[in-house]
Amino acid sequence: MMLSLAGSNNAGVMATPFSLSKDGIEMQFATNHVGHFLLTHLLLETMKKTSRESNVEGRIVNVSSEGHRFAYKEGIRFAKLNDEEEYSTIAAYGQSKLANILHANELARRFKEEGVNITANSLHPGSIITNLLRHHSIIDVMSRTLGRLVLKNVQQGAATQCYVALHPGAKGVSGKYWSDSNLYEPSDKAKDAELGKKLWDYTLDLVVA
């Protein structure tokens, strides 16, 4: 039996009207990325300690989306994150999902540098029948009706997440993007290590301020 210490970041909102979190951060970025970053940050030292003491591989999984390909052209809008005038519901969602991949990749780089037995990966769960599109009524109705013929149910949508978190086939694999339980190629922006480092520093300033 394969043992692992797995943590998965999966909370999310999609294509919401512009709003700010209680901390004054654009809502999609705050929910889909900053919340995950903070939770991981708070648990990280405990996870490292547990992995060392148990000699069991730890795994961190960020649930991203193919929507990361529709982020703003610069990838992450550090200087315009809360700019309502230039806000795009889809691009802002893509930005937050791109951040999920960059976060996982930077974690993987740091774990390798530290020699820590923890992996970090990101994934696309597939198009699933959920209420994520509730802010777009026509599309939401279509996804809940016609979508039942082509979209994944919740169990199918969780399959890749479970595979990356628990399956022996993912042992030792880190800093990768997955889809349908297989390695998949993300966008060029998602592979930008410098952008990932900049995002790490930017988000760390947000959560420790």
From the list 72, 87, 93, 163, the catalytic residue is: 87
Residue 3 has pLDDT above 70, yes or no: no
* Euclidean distance between CA atoms 64 and 96, whole angstroms: 8
45-67 average pLDDT score: 95
* Euclidean distance between CA atoms 54 and 22, whole angstroms: 38
Share of the chain above pLDDT 90, in %: 75
166-194 average pLDDT score: 97
Q: What is the pLDDT of residue 143?
A: 44
pTM above 0.85, yes or no: yes
Is 87 designated active site?
yes
Residue 152 has pLDDT above 70, yes or no: no
Q: What is the pLDDT of residue 1?
A: 36
Q: How many domains does the chain have?
A: 1
- Report pLDDT digits (tens) over 89-124: 999 999 999 999 999 999 999 999 999 999 999 999
Q: What is the CATH number of the domain that holds 37?
A: 3.40.50.720
Coil/strand/helix, residue 205: helix
Q: What is the pLDDT of residue 79?
A: 96
Mean of per-residue pLDDT scores for the chain = 88
Burial class for 75, CB neighbours closer than 10 Å (0-12, 13-18, 19+): buried
Rounded to an integer, what is the distance from CA 157 to the centroid of its chain? 15
Q: Which domain holds residue 135?
A: 5-208
Going by pLDDT thresholds of 50, 70 and 90, the confidence category of residue 130 is: low
Going by pLDDT thresholds of 50, 70 and 90, the confidence category of residue 206 is: very high
How many C-beta atoms lie closer than 10 Å to residue 171's C-beta?
11
User: How close are the terminal C-alpha atoms of the chain, in Å?
Assistant: 42
Residue 4 has pLDDT above 90, yes or no: no
Q: What is the pLDDT of residue 12?
A: 79
CA angle 132, 174, 125 (to 5 degrees): 20
Going by pLDDT thresholds of 50, 70 and 90, the confidence category of residue 146 is: very low
More confident residue, 8 or 34: 34
